[in-house]
Amino acid sequence: MAETRQRDASRVSQSLDDIRQASEALLAEGAADPGSVWRSPALVTAGADGAPQARTVVLRRFEAGERFLEVHADARSAKIGELATRPDAGLHGWDAARQVQLRLTGRASLHRTGPVADAAWAALRPQSRATYDVLPGPGTVIASPERTSHVGEEARGAFCVIRLAYTTLEYLHLGKDGHRRARFTWSGGALVSDWLVP
Ligand SMILES: Cc1cc2nc3c(=O)[nH]c(=O)nc-3n(C[C@H](O)[C@H](O)[C@H](O)COP(=O)(O)O)c2cc1C
């Protein structure tokens, strides 16, 4: 399976449509397979001072048909405040085995309550839920690494789903016989597919 996808994602004779579908398959693999390199892309936001902020996240869900992906975060973390102020966000991943880079951009919505958050929380394993069971919140300066204390039932209140509705997906493949770069842009429901100079 992995070898088939590897061939598909790096075949130089692919059409733009093939490339889009292969890119979507990589992201779907990341959401489904904890061992996939696409499991841990970088989420990029605009920091409070406007400077870019990138951090590794776990890709929890990917829906190609609806063009969104989801990651989970602590609602007290800096990225949530950044996205609340400016919802423009990006996702970046590099697959060295397949020699494929993907870059996505779009707008993020934050879900602390409601059906999106409830469904994600219900599906989380206890050890993942425990990540949110901590005081004070992530990023707080502490006197020593052992200073954080657990708070039990507070964890659900700190849980937040970030849903990135992406409007651009850019693919770059580094091939022995030439590089390939393609960009897919959705605007008003219409898809524009372009080859770009790598
Ligand atoms: C492999 C890996 C996976 C991670 N997954 C997540 C994640 O899914 N959600 C998250 O909020 N932070 C995750 N982190 C931690 C973030 O990279 C980051 O350090 C933290 O969220 C604080 O970021 P912020 O201060 O920009 O909000 C992960 C880190 C690593 C190394």
Domain at 12, CATH number = 2.30.110.10
User: Other C-beta atoms within 10 Å of 69: how many?
Assistant: 27
Q: Whose CA is nearest to atom 19 of ligand 1?
A: 55
Q: Is any ligand 1 atom within 6 A of the Cβ of residue 55? A: yes
Q: Is any ligand 1 atom within 6 A of the Cβ of residue 56? A: yes
Contact in structure between 23 and 171 (CB atoms under 8 Å)? yes
Q: Is any ligand 1 atom within 6 A of the Cβ of residue 81? A: no
pLDDT at 7 over 60: no
**Confidence band of 3 (pLDDT split at 50, 70, 90):** very low
Contact in structure between 195 and 170 (CB atoms under 8 Å)? no
pLDDT at 2 over 50: no
Residue 146: the pLDDT is 81
Mean pLDDT, to the nearest integer, of 106-121? 98
Q: Is any ligand 1 atom within 6 A of the Cβ of residue 131? A: no
**Confidence band of 13 (pLDDT split at 50, 70, 90):** confident
CA–centroid distance, 75 to ligand 1, in Å, is 12
Q: Whose CA is nearest to atom 30 of ligand 1?
A: 56
pTM above 0.85, yes or no: yes
* Number of the ligand 1 atom closest to the C-alpha atom of 74: 11
pLDDT at 69 over 50: yes
**Average pLDDT over the chain, rounded to an integer:** 92
Q: Which domain holds residue 175?
A: 2-140+149-196
Q: Is any ligand 1 atom within 6 A of the Cβ of residue 77? A: yes
Number of domains composing the chain? 1
Q: By mean pLDDT, which of 10-14, 66-70, 91-95, 169-173 is the weakest? A: 10-14
Residue 145: the pLDDT is 86
pLDDT at 151 over 80: no
* Number of the ligand 1 atom closest to the C-alpha atom of 45: 26
Q: Is any ligand 1 atom within 6 A of the Cβ of residue 34? A: no
How far is 9 from 127, CA to CA, in rounded Å?
Answer: 34
Mean pLDDT, to the nearest integer, of 126-149? 89
pLDDT at 40 over 60: yes
**For residue 11, what are the contacts with CB-CB under 8 A and spacing of at least 6?**
18
How far is 117 from 113, CA to CA, in rounded Å?
Answer: 5
Mean pLDDT, to the nearest integer, of 32-41? 98
Contact in structure between 164 and 108 (CB atoms under 8 Å)? yes
Residue 22: the pLDDT is 98
CA–centroid distance, 43 to ligand 1, in Å, is 9
Q: Whose CA is nearest to atom 11 of ligand 1?
A: 73
